[in-house]
């Protein structure tokens, strides 16, 4: 099978699983609990986590059939975290549509999120018997780390000093361990050797950090329609992204004061603020500095993939996936 055909057919498998899941929700009651779950999954998304699980399982010659349900569980889990994060971030939109807490209310968003969390477990535990315990250990460890990352992210909001190292740790927990865990679960389900499962975990982890740094860049320098949310949102909300932290690190006193003035001025036209902060970012070329950092993680990721002895064509599918991810504009 050609590399892209492979990815495409895996995506079809995943879409089918998600559609079946959504159909199963149609007649469930109470409606106020299940309609928001269906709505959330129908908002779409790149389905990166299940795809990674399938590609990883396939890399080690595992059966795709065995990994489909846990992969669906990983996608439901990811969407659950988005749902609860959107409440905490007070986000009005997700993929150009109202968030659940806006369309319904916060209580419903909390509770339908909790329900998705249980459902994600119900699918992850449909892993083959021989690796059930190990898969559940990876999954629960990952889930705890995602919560820790989200809490660090919230703590940063009121913290005056955040180092680049702390920031990288936060995005590792909040974003990349789930990609890593998805890849590792795919490997474990396939019966891969522990050292290879670890390589694919590290591959996913480093890729995830690169992916999040890319997100930081796209939020400022991406184009609105493609990203599916307002560009510059991170600037408006003074979010401590890599770009902001790096700029605060390298800026001279005057530029730093200018930046902080924009950050602390309330009731300012958001577009003015975005343009001004963007100009400071461009002045210090932090977009490229971020890209350099990103490339470091990206290369580390590929180095781990290289170390896995396996079918070349299958590895190419994962490399293509990675490439796609890094070339994306949204």
Q: Which two tokens stand for residue 141?
A: 């460890």
For residue 25, the minimal CB distance to a second copy (Å) is: 12
Among 27, 29, 264, 312, binds a second copy (CB under 8 A): 29
Among 107, 257, 292, 306, binds a second copy (CB under 8 A): 107
Contacts to a second copy from residues 164-203, by CB under 8 A: none
User: Would you say 138 or 227 has its CB closer to a second copy?
Assistant: 138
Distance of alpha carbon 240 from alpha carbon 24, whole angstroms = 40
For residue 269, the minimal CB distance to a second copy (Å) is: 28
By CB under 8 A, residue 27 contacts a second copy: no
Contact 188, 142 (CB under 8 A): no
Piece in contact with a second copy (CB under 8 A), picked from 113-121, 195-203, 206-214, 261-269 = 113-121
Total of residues contacting a second copy (CB under 8 A): 37
Cα dist from 304 to 110, 141, 162, 195, whole Å: 38, 21, 29, 11
By CB under 8 A, residue 230 contacts a second copy: no
Distance of alpha carbon 20 from alpha carbon 28, whole angstroms = 14
Piece in contact with a second copy (CB under 8 A), picked from 2-10, 110-118, 176-184, 274-282 = 110-118
Piece in contact with a second copy (CB under 8 A), picked from 47-55, 83-91, 223-231, 251-259 = 83-91
By CB under 8 A, residue 24 contacts a second copy: no
Which DSSP helix (H) or strand (E) runs through 148? helix 132-158
Piece in contact with a second copy (CB under 8 A), picked from 4-12, 143-151, 211-219, 299-307 = 143-151
By CB under 8 A, residue 162 contacts a second copy: no
By CB under 8 A, residue 152 contacts a second copy: yes
Residue 223: strand, helix, or coil: coil
Among 9, 32, 65, 311, binds a second copy (CB under 8 A): 32
Among 3, 92, 93, 114, binds a second copy (CB under 8 A): 114
Distance of alpha carbon 118 from alpha carbon 160, whole angstroms = 36
Reported for 87-95, long-range contacts at CB under 8 A and 24+ positions apart, including other chains, are: 87/113, 88/150, 88/154, 93/229, 93/230, 94/43, 94/229, 95/43, 95/44, 95/45, 95/228, 95/229
By CB under 8 A, residue 134 contacts a second copy: no
Distance of alpha carbon 161 from alpha carbon 238, whole angstroms = 13
Contact 39, 162 (CB under 8 A): no
DSSP 182-196: HHHHHHHHHT--HHH
Among 3, 11, 22, 33, binds a second copy (CB under 8 A): 33
By CB under 8 A, residue 129 contacts a second copy: yes
Cα dist from 327 to 128, 149, 179, 218, 295, whole Å: 35, 26, 18, 11, 12
Contact 164, 242 (CB under 8 A): yes
User: Would you say 160 or 267 has its CB closer to a second copy?
Assistant: 160
Positions touching a second copy (CB under 8 A) are 29-30, 32-33, 84, 87-88, 106-108, 110-115, 117-119, 121-122, 125, 129, 132-133, 136-137, 140, 143-144, 147-148, 150-152, 154-155
């Amino acid at each position: 099978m050609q590399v892209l055909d492979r990815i495409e057919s895996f995506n079809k498998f995943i879409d089918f699983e998600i559609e079946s899941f959504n159909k199963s929700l149609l007649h469930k009651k109470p409606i106020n609990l299940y309609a928001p779950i269906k709505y959330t999954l129908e908002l779409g998304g790149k389905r990166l986590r299940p795809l990674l699980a399938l590609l990883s399982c396939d890399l080690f010659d595992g059966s795709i059939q065995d990994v489909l349900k846990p992969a669906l569980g990983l996608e439901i889990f990811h969407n659950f975290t988005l749902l609860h994060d959107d409440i905490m971030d007070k986000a009005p939109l997700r993929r150009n549509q109202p968030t659940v807490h806006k369309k319904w209310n916060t209580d419903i968003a909390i509770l339908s999120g909790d329900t998705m969390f249980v459902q994600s477990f119900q699918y992850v535990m449909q892993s083959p018997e021989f690796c059930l315990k190990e898969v559940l250990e990876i999954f629960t460890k990952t889930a705890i780390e995602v919560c820790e990352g989200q809490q660090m992210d919230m703590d940063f909001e009121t913290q005056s000093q955040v180092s680049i190292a702390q920031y990288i740790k936060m995005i590792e927990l909040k974003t990349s361990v789930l990609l890593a865990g998805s890849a590792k679960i795919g490997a474990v389900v396939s019966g891969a050797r522990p050292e290879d499962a670890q390589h694919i975990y590290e591959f996913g982890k480093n890729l995830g950090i690169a992916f999040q740094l890319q997100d930081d860049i796209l939020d400022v320098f991406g184009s609105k329609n493609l990203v599916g949310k307002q560009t510059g949102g991170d600037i408006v909300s003074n979010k401590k992204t890599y770009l902001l932290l790096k700029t605060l690190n390298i800026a001279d006193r005057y530029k730093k004061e200018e930046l902080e003035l924009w950050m602390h001025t309330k009731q300012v036209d958001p577009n003015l603020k975005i343009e001004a902060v963007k100009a400071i970012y461009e002045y210090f070329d932090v977009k490229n500095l971020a890209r350099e950092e990103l490339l470091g993680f990206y290369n580390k990721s590929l180095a781990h993939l290289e170390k896995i002895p396996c079918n070349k064509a299958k590895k190419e599918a994962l490399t293509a996936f990675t490439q796609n991810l890094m070339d994306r504009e949204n």
